[in-house]
Structure 1
Amino acid sequence: MMPEIVRRLETAALPAEEVSGPFWNACRGGQLATAKYLLERGADLNWPAPWSGQTPLDIAEQAEHREVAAWLLERGATRAKKGSGPDAS
């Protein structure tokens, strides 16, 4: 997956909105090298997924990717506020 991400980002600069979703997914999948690469290219460290409201830190912790979660915390990542998801009232 990484070669395709590099190819896409090297051919055109993408706005943060288009890099943050893949960053979130890299954190969910425990893909630390990919997450680092995407953060360096403008991903939002605390991007809340529109479908769940979870931040990259939330999903890394939920998936028990401790190394990714620790790296996110070192960079100042935050957890979503309770009741901030799409179903919050």
Structure 2
Amino acid sequence: MDVSQVFDLNGKGAVEALALVEAALQEQRRDEEVKLWFKFDPPQPGGGETLFQPVGRRLRDAIKHGHAVRAMPAQGGGWIVRLAAKVR
């Protein structure tokens, strides 16, 4: 997969995972668009809530505010997000 960086959120609770997502979105310094993979396990039968919805909502907000261009579910679990280049 052609991504700039992978963030492994496996085993993290929603609060901790969202803090890592937020830090990644804010700290990326880039002159070009980059792709990040926020990786976590796909849902398991009877496994309860996953990070898919809370992380997806945060990425949707990043798109709405122009920090991200696109987000899509990753085939191996999680989300892939394409971040916009920062204007300097």
Bin for the TM-score computed over the shorter chain: 0.3 to 0.5
Greater fraction of residues in helix = 1
**TM-score, normalised relative to structure 1:** 0.37
Greater relative contact order (Cα < 8 A, sep 6+): 2
Greater fraction of residues in strand = 2
